[in-house]
């Protein structure tokens, strides 16, 4: 009969069992640390920055986080580092040369293979069967509309932080919305993708037709300041990290400044009317050579010997405009432009901005006053111009552009020019389209007002480039009850057979603006209507609290 184990034997067995269990736990931990966590030494896992969706004003998705993964490798587990590098490069798109060098010379236990790889790429990596790989959860920003709103939406970096456009400018709102959202927070922008598509399409068509170097456009609500559309061409694909040939991330509407030419005459007439230095019934002599000191001012096109004040604007006379602004002088002109916000960067949700260029006070003399009066010698961003022009037509009240949806809230502020001056300017701008250089933007039933601008392009040596123009068109509709602005700019367009070789704004930018208005007006709920009578306009002015404009003072 076998003897029962003694107390000491039982204790030995129990002790041996505990040792076996302890060694097993240690072994498991060593395997876990060496195979799975060992190469994390010295590497802190980057937190995933949660970002809310960006949408247009109607809820269409502009930007969303998609789950992806970052891939790390521990080279010491690779029997063939070169082969591993080749396989991982083929699966992820990383550089094989970089990976092989990193695997052979790594100073740390881990090597970053690729960031933000998709599930498809992850599956390709898994098929390689390589040891020592780790997938770390991450997020990648996706832009479903691609190029259509690339510059205005902007992009994020590899850590999901905004680095341009609204991704950067609205980053506090995006993070706040993500923090309070149940599933996905949302930030609704002012952009209307229907308008954005149309604006982008018409600008690209015009750019190709006139082989322009670049083109851009803005659609703005003059009462809320909302930007419904902003396009800059050439553009880029925000879903790709690199740029294709000919692409550009630069938003020329916000971060470039230009001499805009005759569209600037809007401000010259506004200043003169508000300052009561101009009577719209008077007639100006248009001499062939108009001298200002030792300088001579010329016309872009042949003009008659005399022009009535309204025709100075409608026919875009440089000589007539020079006479008008010289009545006010340099000091008044500078103060007026500063008051309109044109001598400082425009405030907006976009981080991209540009400081205007203009003469110093001591250099702002008579000739500078004259040339600035017709848009040469001062450079501003298109967004800055549109903001000031909105104040001219919206009843004369301060407005700040915004890229956040305002739900119809009237955001007009203080009075910057008189309401009476604003009404007169609406009439003048309508006259430019019906009887002046803007006829090709006259869309039946939509009461369009506007102004053409054709400016010489300065070269690298400070001299203007021969036969190079920068053309633009500013449009407001409905002109007598303004709601929206459409602004189109074309950089160095060329005339075509259809335009008889002409490349001025009336042939290039104005038709494009007209086509945009024709397509977006129905979408924005602007009904077709006949032009109001003079009596109807006077009644509207009285209802708005303004004095009626006498027939003798209005075109």
Give pLDDT tens digits for 64-109: 998 888 899 998 888 898 998 899 999 998 898 999 888 888 888 8
Instruction: Give the pLDDT score at 541.
Output: 47
- Average the pLDDT over 238-260 and give the result: 94
Question: Hey, CA dihedral for 222, 228, 231, 236, is it positive or negative?
Answer: positive
Residue with tokens 């708005």: 544
Count other Cβ atoms within 10 Å, centred on residue 550: 8
3 state DSSP class of 269: helix
117 has pLDDT over 50:
yes
Nearest to 401 by CA among 392, 388, 414: 388
80 domain-assigned: no
Range of weakest confidence among 33-47, 102-116, 299-313, 481-495: 33-47
CB 100 within 8 A of CB 82: yes
**For position 471, what pLDDT does the model report?**
97
pLDDT tens digits along 404-438: 999 989 999 999 999 999 999 999 999 999 999 99
Give the pLDDT band (50/70/90) at residue 553. very low
* Predicted pLDDT at 173: 94
Cβ-proximal residues to 126 (8 Å cutoff; 6+ apart), any chain: none
For residue 443, what are the domain limits? 195-553
**Is residue 43 predicted with pLDDT exceeding 80?**
no
Residue 338 is predicted with a pLDDT of 98
How much of the chain, in percent, has pLDDT values that exceed 70? 86
DSSP string, 282-303: -EEE--SSEEETTEEE--SS--
Give the Å distances, CA to CA, from 232 to 191, 229, 536. Answer: 14, 10, 39
Q: Indicate whether 117 belongs to any domain.
A: no
In the predicted model, is pLDDT for residue 34 greater than 60? no
Q: Does residue 181 carry a pLDDT above 70?
A: no
* Distance between CA atoms of residues 397 and 392, nearest Å: 8
Which parts of 327-463 are beta strand (E)?
Answer: 449-458
Average pLDDT over residues 157-165: 93
In a domain, 171, yes or no: no
Mean pLDDT calculated for residue range 219-241: 96
Structure tokens at 368: 């500078």
With cut-offs at 50, 70 and 90, classify the pLDDT of residue 5. Answer: low
What pLDDT, on a 0 to 100 scale, did the predictor assign at position 180?
79
Asked if residues 191 and 227 have their Cβ atoms less than 8 Å apart, the reply is yes
Q: Which CATH number is 260's domain given? A: 3.40.710.10
| 162: β partners | 156
The answer to whether residues 526 and 484 touch, using CB atoms and an 8 Å cutoff, is yes
154 located within any domain: no
Q: How many angstroms separate the CA atoms of 465 and 469, rounded?
A: 8
Q: Would you call 359 exposed, middle or buried from its count of C-beta atoms within 10 A (0-12, 13-18, 19+)?
A: middle
Asked whether residue 472 is domain-assigned, the answer is: yes
- Is residue 103 a part of any domain in this protein? no
Return the pLDDT at 115.
87
Q: Residue 79: what pLDDT?
A: 86
What confidence score (pLDDT) does residue 543 get?
41
Encode pLDDT of 343-398 as tens digits. 999 999 999 999 999 999 999 999 999 999 999 999 999 999 999 999 999 999 99
Residue 294, C-beta contacts closer than 8 angstroms, at least 6 positions apart: none
Counting the structural domains of the chain, the total is 1
* Residue 352 covered by a domain: yes
State the Cα–Cα distance between residues 39 and 450, nearest whole angstrom. Answer: 65
Catalytic residues: 262
| pLDDT more than 90, % of the chain | 69
380 closest CA partner among 342, 418, 435: 342
> Which one has a higher pLDDT value, 355 or 537?
355
Q: What is the pLDDT of residue 460?
A: 84
**190 in a structural domain:** no
Given a cut of 70, is residue 535 above it in pLDDT? no
Strand ordering across the sheet containing 449-458: 227-233, 214-221, 484-491, 464-477, 449-458
Higher pLDDT, 129 or 334: 334
pLDDT at position 13 is 63
Q: Is it the case that residue 234 has pLDDT exceeding 90?
A: yes
pLDDT at position 505: 96
Phi, psi at residue 318, to the nearest 5°?
Answer: -70, -40
Nearest-5° Cα angle at 319, 277 to 381: 85
The pLDDT score that the predictor gives to residue 548 is: 33
Q: Which residue has the higher pLDDT, 146 or 34?
A: 146
Kindly tell me if the per-residue pLDDT of 554 is higher than 70.
no
If one counts every other C-beta atom within 10 angstroms of the C-beta of residue 124, the result is 16
46-50, 471-475, 479-483, 487-491: which range is least confident on average? 46-50
């Amino acid at each position: 009969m076998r003897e029962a184990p003694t107390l000491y034997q039982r204790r030995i067995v129990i002790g041996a069992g505990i040792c076996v269990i302890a060694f097993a736990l240690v072994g498991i931990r060593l395997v876990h640390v060496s195979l799975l966590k060992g190469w994390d030494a010295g590497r802190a896992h980057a937190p995933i920055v949660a970002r809310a969706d960006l949408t247009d004003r109607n809820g269409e998705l502009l930007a969303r986080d998609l789950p992806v993964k970052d891939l790390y490798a521990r080279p010491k587990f690779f029997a063939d580092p070169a082969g591993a590098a080749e396989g991982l490069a083929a699966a992820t798109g990383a550089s094989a040369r970089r990976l092989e060098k990193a695997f052979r010379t790594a100073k740390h236990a881990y090597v970053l293979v690729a960031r933000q790889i998709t599930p498809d790429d992850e599956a390709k990596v898994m098929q390689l069967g390589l040891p020592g790989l780790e997938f770390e959860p991450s997020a990648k920003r996706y832009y479903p509309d691609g190029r259509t709103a690339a510059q205005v939406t902007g992009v994020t970096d590899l850590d999901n932080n905004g680095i341009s456009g609204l991704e950067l400018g609205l980053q506090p709102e995006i993070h706040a919305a993500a923090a309070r959202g149940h599933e996905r927070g949302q930030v609704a922008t002012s952009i209307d993708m229907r308008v954005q598509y149309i604006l982008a399409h018409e600008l690209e068509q015009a750019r190709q037709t006139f082989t322009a170097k670049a083109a851009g456009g803005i659609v703005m609500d003059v009462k809320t300041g909302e930007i419904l559309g902003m396009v800059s061409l050439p553009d880029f694909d925000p879903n790709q990290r690199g740029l294709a040939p000919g692409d550009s991330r630069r938003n020329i509407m916000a971060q470039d400044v230009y001499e805009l030419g005759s569209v600037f005459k809007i401000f010259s007439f506004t200043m003169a009317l508000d300052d009561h230095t101009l009577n719209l019934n008077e007639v100006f002599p248009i001499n062939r050579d108009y001298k200002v000191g030792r300088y001579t001012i010329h016309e872009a096109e042949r003009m008659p010997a005399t022009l009535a004040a309204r025709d100075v604007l409608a026919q875009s006379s440089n000589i007539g405009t020079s006479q008008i602004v010289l009545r006010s002088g340099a000091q008044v002109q500078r103060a007026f432009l500063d008051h309109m916000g044109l001598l400082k960067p425009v405030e907006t949700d976009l981080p991209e901005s540009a400081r205007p260029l203009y003469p110093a006070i001591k250099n702002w003399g008579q000739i500078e006053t004259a040339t600035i009066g017709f848009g040469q010698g001062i450079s501003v961003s298109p967004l800055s111009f549109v903001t000031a022009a909105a104040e001219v037509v919206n009843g004369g009240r301060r407005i700040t552009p915004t890229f956040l949806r305002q739900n119809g809230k009237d955001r007009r502020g203080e009075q910057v020019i008189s309401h009476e001056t604003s009404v007169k300017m609406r009439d003048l701008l309508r006259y430019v389209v019906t009887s002046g250089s803007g006829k090709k933007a006259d869309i039946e039933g939509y009461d369009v007002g506007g102004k053409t601008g054709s400016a010489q392009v300065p070269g690298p040596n400070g001299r203007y480039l021969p036969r190079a123009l920068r053309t633009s068109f500013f449009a407001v509709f409905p002109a007598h009850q303004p709601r929206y602005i459409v602004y189109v700019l074309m950089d160095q367009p060329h005339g075509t057979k259809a335009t008889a070789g002409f490349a001025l704004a009336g042939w290039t930018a104005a038709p494009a603006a007209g086509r945009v208005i024709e397509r977006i007006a129905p979408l924005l709920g602007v009904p077709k209507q006949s032009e109001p009578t003079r009596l109807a306009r006077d009644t509207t002015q009285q209802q708005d609290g303004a004095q009626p404009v006498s027939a003798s003072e209005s075109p």
